[in-house]
Structure 1
């Protein structure tokens, strides 16, 4: 699968070898990691990708993406799906950025890109959640077009739904 390019970012589909390096915390000569990358969430997502690949093969486009800045190619975080769409066409997402990249709209931009990928591949609903105290993450989902969909004692849930989906992957605006 090709990289997905936004205004300031590249969403790079993570490969097995890249996931193995993230889990090991070992960059190679081609990988350029911003300070703080990979964070705990990136390592967890890479492990999930490796487990999925071992069990059922490469999940792309419903896998993990490294968030890279277009200006310097440095990985500043990750965004991705927790698995393929369920029987109702629904997926759950997650994302995170290194501390130095926060507050500049990168997470919302990356999430908007991921939502486009989901829609282009027939997803009808995308779900996410954030702890009540994580106001920044709630703002990211809202800025990307997701709306509050409930809450429990620990988290606030967000979602976006589409009645129509875009089947053509070249239909990016």
Structure 2
């Protein structure tokens, strides 16, 4: 089995996790065959992350932007969440583009079913916040989740996000960094 080699781009490390952005080529391989991609980099593949909605978002939103040399690819790719001890892809997180004119960036995320309610995404977002604090362009992190997704709301609140707006079927939470 090949040895996992970190890419030459940013990787966020926490106590239990590595949060690693995928290159454009890796992102393409990941949507073509998540199992083969994971095995190629020496990891246990995710069991649930690559659903139809995720594939469509990657194809329609992330890939067209990650290949644009005028854009920061770290804000247009999927970051895989790797559980260190199991060497398993257990989640994913991404941005919905670069910071806007107000310094606001939106995140979206998911955790494999078998790893939910274990603090994985709370730790992931905490690591991401720590990393984003080093970027002067980012002033606010935003996340929107379903109004009845109490687990997701709790993950954000544990990371000091505050409810900004309630809609009929969703909740927007924000965290000010500066």
Structure 2: give runs of 5+ residues left out of the alignment.
1-8
Q: Tell me, which stretches of 5 or more residues in structure 1 are unaligned? A: 164-173
1:89 and 1:156 map into 2 onto residues whose CA distance is 20
- Give the number of equivalent residue pairs: 163
Call closer, same or farther: CA 1:59–1:43 in 2, change over 3 Å: farther
C-alpha separation in 2, matches of 1:157 and 1:93: 11
Partner of 1:68: 82
Matched, 1:130 2:166: no
Distance 1:144-1:45 versus aligned 2 partners, 3 A rule: farther
Aligned residue in 2 for 1:115: 129
Contact 1:22-1:42 within 8 A present in 2 as well = no
Tell me the equivalent position of 1:46: 58
Matches of residues 5-154 of structure 1 in structure 2 within 5 Å? 5-26=13-34, 27-28=36-37, 29-32=40-43, 33-40=45-52, 42-47=54-59, 48-56=61-69, 59-63=72-76, 64-122=78-136, 123-154=138-169
1:71-119 deviation digits (Å, cap 9, x = unpaired): 1221111112111001111100111011011110001110111112222
Supply the distance in 1 between the matched residues of 2:51 and 2:89 (Cα, whole angstroms).
11
Residues 1:5 and 1:106: Cα distance change in structure 2 (over 3 Å)? same
**Which consecutive aligned stretches of 4+ in structure 1 deviate over 6 angstroms post-superposition?**
none
